[in-house]
Amino acid sequence: MAEQEPQAPKALVPKAQVSGRRIVVGLDTSFMSREALALAARVAASVDADLNGIFVEDENLLALSALPFAREISMAGAVSQMSEADMLRAMQAQAQIARRILERTAKEANIGWHFDIARGHRLAALAHHANADDTLVIRAHDASRRDVGRTIRAATREVRADVLLAARGVAVATTFATPDLRTVQTVLPERVLLAVDEGSSPGEACVGFAQTLAARVGAPFRRLFARGFAPADLAIAARKAHAGLIVINAHALGDDDDAAHLSAAAGCPVLLLGGERK
């Protein structure tokens, strides 16, 4: 598949030059990042979207490495001085590894892919990079709920993008169809795609979108009438329904950290729809 190179080092492709539907995911070389990437690839294959991986050079780590007392401790216990240039070189090496992992994953799923490098905060960079047609995949394994909430608010309410969130401790590996579109029942029997209808017009549109998605990936579909439900009530209902994915209008949730609470308590990912659907 054709690759779109970043136009400049440590800079994102300008939004105006990006077109088409994309599944956007943050990259590093950790196991959790690879799990999120695998999920993002499944989503992209299911909805005919490209996969956009973003490697973020952590500005906090760079700032710390510039301090005169910064030291690096090797696996063998050796201590050596660490400079900002050393940290940047290490990040650039990690970025190339992440790029190769992204390329291999996309080719296995037979989907288009793009790779970008940004500098800043890992989650904030994803929201900054998003467009209204995008879906951000967030695997919140090492981020605070406050940071997750801020990112979701920026993506869904300011950019109007969608966000697929899996909170800490939530399994994500088999939520969607495999890349060749075999049904999810073959890998995760009887897990339901649960659409939340809170009684609003956007909620009704959310149900229609969720029903189409369920048919596309071969998942059982259920509509939850949830007017006046708090996140805790939604989580209880989702567990009773044996939900594998909750689809909800992002504006139906109040506080910034409600989505993280809902995903964690329900034990499944949550797809928050930020854009308007008819």
Per the prediction, the chain carries an average pLDDT of 78
DSSP state of 101: H
DSSP state of 271: E
pLDDT band for 176, please (50, 70, 90 cuts): very low
How confident is the model over 92-139, as pLDDT tens digits? 999 999 999 999 999 998 999 999 998 888 788 888 888 898 999 988
Q: List Cα–Cα distances, 44 to 112, 178, 188, in angstroms.
A: 9, 10, 19
Report yes or no on 72 lying in a domain: no
Report yes or no on 76 lying in a domain: no
pLDDT band for 221, please (50, 70, 90 cuts): very high
Residue 187, pLDDT score: 35
Quote the number of domains for the chain.
1
Phi, psi of 153 (to 5 degrees): -60, -45
Give the residue-averaged pLDDT of 248-258: 87
Strand order in the sheet with 50-58: 3-4, 113-120, 50-58, 22-27, 135-140, 162-167, 270-273, 243-249, 192-197, 221-225
Report yes or no on 74 lying in a domain: no
For residue 118, give the amino acid letter.
Answer: A
pTM over 0.75: yes
Rg (CA), the chain: 19
Residue 119, pLDDT score: 85
- Residues 241 and 237: their CA atoms lie apart, in Å, by 6
- Torsion angle defined by CA atoms of residues 256, 259, 264 and 268, in that order, rounded to the nearest 10 degrees: -160
Instruction: Provide the CATH number for the domain around residue 22.
Output: 3.40.50.12370
Give me the domain span that covers residue 112.
3-67+81-273
- Residues 162 and 156: their CA atoms lie apart, in Å, by 6
HEC secondary structure over 181-240:
CCCHHHCCCCCEEEEEECCCHHHHHHHHHHHHHHHHHCCCEEEEECCCCCHHHHHHHHHH
Residue 21, pLDDT score: 83
- Residues 199 and 197: their CA atoms lie apart, in Å, by 6
Report yes or no on 265 lying in a domain: yes
Report yes or no on 29 lying in a domain: yes
Report yes or no on 89 lying in a domain: yes
Report yes or no on 73 lying in a domain: no
Report yes or no on 182 lying in a domain: yes
